[in-house]
Chain A
Amino acid sequence: AQSVAQPEDQVNVAEGNPLTVKCTYSVSGNPYLFWYVQYPNRGLQFLLKYITGDNLVKGSYGFEAEFNKSQTSFHLKKPSALVSDSALYFCAVPSTSGTYKYIFGTGTRLKVLA
Chain B
Amino acid sequence: EPEVTQTPSHQVTQMGQEVILRCVPISNHLYFYWYRQILGQKVEFLVSFYNNEISEKSEIFDDQFSVERPDGSNFTLKIRSTKLEDSAMYFCASSEALVAGGYNSPLHFGNGTRLTVT
Are A and B subunits of one complex?
yes
Partner of A99, one of B4, B35, B55: B55
- Given A43-B111, A43-B112, A46-B107, verify A102-B42 contact (CB < 8 Å): no
Partner of A49, one of B42, B45, B106: B106
The answer, yes or no, to whether B109 is at the interface (CB within 8 Å) is yes
- The interface centre, meaning the residue of A49, A94, A106 with most chain B CB atoms within 10 A of its CB, is A94
- A44 x B91 contact (CB < 8 A): yes
B105 → A minimal CB distance (Å): 8
Interchain Cβ contacts within 8 Å, total number: 65
Task: Mark contacts of A50-64 with chain B using CB atoms, 8 A cut-off: 1 yes-contact digit, 0 otherwise.
Answer: 010000000000000
- Given A43-B4, A51-B104, verify A100-B55 contact (CB < 8 Å): yes
Give 5 new A-B contacts, CB below 8 A, not counting A97-B56, A101-B48, A104-B45.
A44-B107, A46-B107, A100-B55, A102-B107, A104-B43
- A32 x B104 contact (CB < 8 A): yes
CB pairs A–B below 8 angstroms (23 shown): A34-B106, A41-B111, A43-B110, A43-B111, A43-B112, A44-B93, A46-B106, A46-B107, A94-B103, A97-B56, A99-B48, A99-B50, A99-B55, A100-B31, A101-B45, A101-B55, A102-B107, A103-B45, A104-B43, A106-B41, A106-B42, A107-B41, A107-B43
- A100 x B109 contact (CB < 8 A): no
Chain B neighbourhood of A44, CB < 8 A: 43, 91, 93, 107, 109
- The interface centre, meaning the residue of B95, B107, B110 with most chain A CB atoms within 10 A of its CB, is B107
- A100 x B48 contact (CB < 8 A): yes
Chain A neighbourhood of B103, CB < 8 A: 32, 94, 100
Chain B neighbourhood of A43, CB < 8 A: 4, 91, 93, 109-112
Chain A neighbourhood of B105, CB < 8 A: 100
State in angstroms the CA–CA spacing of A94 and B45 once bound together: 12
Task: Mark contacts of A24-47 with chain B using CB atoms, 8 A cut-off: 1 yes-contact digit, 0 otherwise.
Answer: 000000001010100001111110
Chain B neighbourhood of A106, CB < 8 A: 41-42
Q: Which residue of A lies closest to B46 (CB)?
A: A101
- The interface centre, meaning the residue of A32, A46, A97, A99 with most chain B CB atoms within 10 A of its CB, is A99
